[in-house]
């Protein structure tokens, strides 16, 4: 099973729009949304079943037993994250606690226990296809670990599908690094702006560190054609496959509002996305684009 990951250096470039279109074009039987901070692939690809939901546990959180606490204040004094309050008894702010256990170590009354804490939920839709996604709870960390669990739910066997499509997180942080691990190709969706070019370069450098093959396409290229040409030139100079340019298209917004992909409606953006997709297939299965 080949795994295609769609990334961008920032949010709002059209990453999920393209991912949903590729899933539709390929009739993908396995796909995932690894943007666990703000998953939205399910809004475009509506599901006809309820998901199997499983709690995801990140780092343990400290809990102070009020019956044992002597209010000595050592835990608050040693907490680097300012997560302990005293109003009037000592208690732990779960949103501030990073699970380092220092408070437990310094407590002379053994009043502090590290307790498992749900950091989010894993969701798995499985019928004629398998859709893996998750949602991180507000204020929780460990998003990279949750992304890893989302990918594990896809499985690695080769029997029932040739291509799995993964909608990744924006940026270059921990969830993106976890998304890149083990994939066969990263498609970077670039935006033709000054910040968009910088964001593209950052994500390309991140993928290079992991020696993961990359390709680039430009979304809303006609917003600034000069910057689009700069992106194309950057790809040529670094010998990165450049797969095409997708125009700004009001019908793309219409499709999204109707809960459809851009290839479900006859529109210029959908036509160009289809061309990009078939170049992707050549690249991922044959090692060439064009």
Same domain, 250 and 172: yes
Classify residue 286 as exposed, middle or buried by CB count within 10 Å of its CB (0-12, 13-18, 19+).
Answer: exposed
The CATH number of residue 172's host domain is 3.40.50.300
pLDDT at position 289: 54
Phi, psi of 280 (to 5 degrees): -60, -45
Tally of domains within the chain: 2
| Residue 245 CB partners (closer than 8 Å, separation 6+) | 217, 218, 221, 228, 272
Tell me which residue range forms the domain holding 97: 59-116
pLDDT at position 140: 78
Domain limit, last residue, from 96, 116, 136:
116
Going by C-alpha positions, the residue among 220, 281, 274 that lies closest to residue 246 is 220
Same domain, 34 and 137: yes
Same domain, 269 and 127: yes
pLDDT at position 59: 85
- Find the distance separating the first CA and the last CA of the chain, reported in whole Å: 23
Q: What is the pLDDT along the chain (290 residues), one digit of tens a residue?
A: 889 999 987 778 889 999 999 999 998 889 999 998 888 888 888 887 888 999 998 889 999 999 999 999 999 999 999 999 988 889 999 889 989 999 999 999 999 999 998 889 999 998 888 999 999 888 777 678 889 899 988 876 545 568 899 999 888 888 888 899 889 999 999 999 999 899 999 999 999 999 999 999 999 999 999 999 999 999 999 999 999 999 998 888 888 888 889 998 889 999 999 999 999 999 888 776 54
């Amino acid at each position: 099973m080949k795994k295609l990951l769609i990334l961008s250096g920032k949010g709002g470039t059209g990453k999920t729009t393209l991912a949903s279109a590729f899933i539709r074009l390929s009739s993908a039987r396995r796909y995932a949304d690894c943007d666990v901070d703000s998953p939205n692939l399910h809004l475009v690809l509506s599901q006809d079943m309820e998901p199997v939901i499983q709690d995801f546990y990140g780092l343990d959180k400290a809990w102070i037993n009020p019956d044992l606490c002597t209010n000595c204040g050592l835990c608050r004094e040693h907490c680097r994250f300012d997560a302990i309050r005293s109003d009037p008894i000592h208690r732990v702010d779960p949103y501030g606690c990073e699970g380092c256990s220092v408070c437990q170590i310094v407590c002379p009354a053994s009043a502090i226990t590290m307790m498992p804490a749900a950091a989010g939920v894993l969701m798995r839709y499985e019928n004629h296809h398998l859709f893996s996604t998750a949602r991180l709870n507000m204020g929780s960390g460990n998003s990279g670990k949750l992304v890893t669990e989302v990918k594990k739910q896809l499985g690695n066997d080769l029997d029932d599908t040739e291509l799995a499509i993964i909608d990744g997180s924006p940026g270059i942080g921990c969830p993106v690094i976890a998304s890149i691990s083990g994939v066969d190709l990263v498609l970077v969706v670039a935006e033709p702006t000054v910040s968009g070019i910088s964001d593209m370069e950052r994500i390309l450098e991140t993928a290079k560190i992991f020696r993961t093959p990359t390709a680039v396409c430009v979304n809303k290229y006609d917003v600034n054609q000069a910057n689009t040409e700069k992106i194309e030139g950057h790809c040529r100079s670094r010998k990165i496959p450049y797969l095409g340019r997708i125009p700004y298209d009001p019908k793309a917004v219409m499709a999204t509002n109707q809960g459809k992909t851009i290839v479900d409606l006859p529109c210029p953006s959908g036509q160009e996305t289809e061309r990009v997709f078939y170049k992707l297939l050549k690249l991922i299965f044959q090692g060439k684009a064009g």
